[in-house]
Structures are given as structure tokens and as C-alpha cells.
Chains A and B, each alone.
Chain A
Amino acid sequence: MPETKLLIFFAAGLGLASVILTCLDHFLNQRERD
């Protein structure tokens, strides 16, 4: 079903983007402390 595919795409996109942004922000905080 296209609706189910879209929900999976949404969930994957939201999760992946959140994880990447969190990691990059953590990296920047580390650099600032150095």
C-alpha cells in the first residue's frame, strides 16, 4: 500500500535525520570544549 510505504519513509526519515543532527551537534559541542 502506498500509504504504508509513505509512513515507513516518514519514520525512517525522521529517525535518521534526528540521529545525524544529534551526532553533529554533539561533535560541535566537543570541538567547542577543546
Chain B
Amino acid sequence: MFAGHFAIGLALKARYRQTPTWALLVAVQLCDWIWIILSFLQVEHFRLFFTSQGAMQLDLYDVPYSHALFWSAFYALVVFLLFVRADNQRHWAVPLSLAVFSHWVLNWLMLPPILPFANFGPRLKFGLGLGELFPFAELVFETFIVFSCWRLYDRQWKNSAAARSWARWAILGVLVVSLILPQALQRLF
């Protein structure tokens, strides 16, 4: 999921306008950046497989650091403590830590029970699995998240020159492309 996480970042931007957008967008995807780096380093493992309909699926069977409940909460806490101690960026602490942890929450809502607790402790797996309720459920829920969050973000420009700008629609366009492209690639691979 790309677009849903970015959309949450933009919704947080609407609420916390003093926090830089780039920092929020990095924060909402921090767990995925960690996953990419650790997978390159072969610390974490995943495999690709194809469903009977020919769609490509990711099997995140070994992601005990990047997508674990404990470590996601830990990353959010570290981000909070880093910024809350900084003189000029104290107000970044809450939005950035919320952004970091939102990644796990959104994944928990959408994915089946594949998210581990940690690389230690109870062998629990978390995931509500809304994305597997019915065919294309992930696309339907993610579309809802994208449009709701974009609406929240877009409301801040009311009665200003920005409200008439093409850039608002370009932002929605980028979100829609990042919503559809991974789905399309899954079916093209």
C-alpha cells in the first residue's frame, strides 16, 4: 500500500501545518523504508507468488523489525523523543510519531494476520484483514482512505488563491496513480 499511507501523511499535514510535508511523508513510510533496506541486506525476507488469477502477491513472512508491533511503537517513540528534546522542532514530535505509528495501524486494518509482535516474545501475528474481505476490497478501502484524507487536506485552502490552483488536483492525481499503479503492476507482472 502506497497511497493510503501518503494520504494519512497529508491529513496530518492539514492538522499540523507547522510540520514539514517531506518529514511527514518520510515518517508515514518509515517502516517501508526500513523494510526495503533490511530486505536488501537479507536481514528480513519476503517472497513473490502468483494467485490463481495471475496477480502478483507479496508474502511478508519474515519482517520482525520493519513491520512488528513492538518495533513500530519503538520507532514512533524514538521519533517523539528525538524531536521533543529539540528546541526548534518540538512541535514536530507528536505529528511525526503519529505518522510513524499510523503505518502499522493501517497495515493492521488491511492485511491478514501476518504482522509479528517482534523478533522476540510471544509468537503473535496481527492483522484484521479488511483488504481480503471481498475481491478488490483493498482497492475499495484504500480509495476511501485516499479521498477522505485528501478532502481533509484540501479543506485548508478554502477562500485562498491556492483553492483555484491546479496543484490540488495534481496532488489527488499523484495519490490516485500511486493507488492504481501497484494494483496494475500486480496484474501485469
A residues touching B (Cβ–Cβ < 8 Å)?
A: 2-4, 6-7, 9-11, 13-14, 17-18, 20-22, 24-29, 31-32, 34
Produce 1/0 per residue, B72-109, CB < 8 A to A. Answer: 00000000000000000000000000000000000000
Q: Say whether A18 contacts B26, CB under 8 Å.
A: yes
Taking a contact as CB atoms closer than 8 A, the residue among A6, A21, A27 that contacts B48 in the complex is: A6
Q: Say whether A18 contacts B25, CB under 8 Å.
A: yes
Q: Which of B28-36, B128-136, B138-146 contacts A (4 or more CB under 8 A)?
A: B28-36
B residues touching A (Cβ–Cβ < 8 Å)?
A: 2, 6, 9-10, 13, 20-22, 25-26, 29, 32-33, 36, 39-40, 46-48, 58, 157, 160-162, 165, 167-168, 170-171, 174, 178, 181-182, 185, 189
Q: Say whether A3 contacts B167, CB under 8 Å.
A: no
Q: A29-B162, A31-B165 are in contact. Are A18 and B22 (CB under 8 A)?
A: yes
Q: Which of chain B's residues has its CB closest to A18's CB?
A: B25
Inter-chain CA distance A7–B45, complex, in Å, is 11
Among A13, A18, A21, the most chain B Cβ lie within 10 Å of the Cβ of A21
Q: Say whether B162 contacts A32, CB under 8 Å.
A: yes
Q: Which of chain A's residues has its CB closest to B169's CB?
A: A24
Interface of A is mostly: helix
Q: Say whether B181 contacts A27, CB under 8 Å.
A: no
Q: Say whether B160 contacts A18, CB under 8 Å.
A: no
Inter-chain pairs besides A27-B167, A32-B161, 6 sampled, C-beta below 8 Å: A14-B2, A21-B6, A21-B21, A24-B174, A28-B162, A29-B162
Collect the chain B residues with CB atoms within 8 Å of residue A24's CB: 167, 170-171, 174
Q: Say whether B167 contacts A31, CB under 8 Å.
A: yes
Collect the chain B residues with CB atoms within 8 Å of residue A18's CB: 6, 22, 25-26, 29
Inter-chain CA distance A28–B180, complex, in Å, is 24
Inter-chain CA distance A10–B48, complex, in Å, is 14
Question: Closest Cβ of chain A: how far from B178's Cβ, in Å?
Answer: 5
Question: Closest Cβ of chain A: how far from B100's Cβ, in Å?
Answer: 15
Q: Say whether B162 contacts A31, CB under 8 Å.
A: yes
Q: Say whether A28 contacts B168, CB under 8 Å.
A: yes
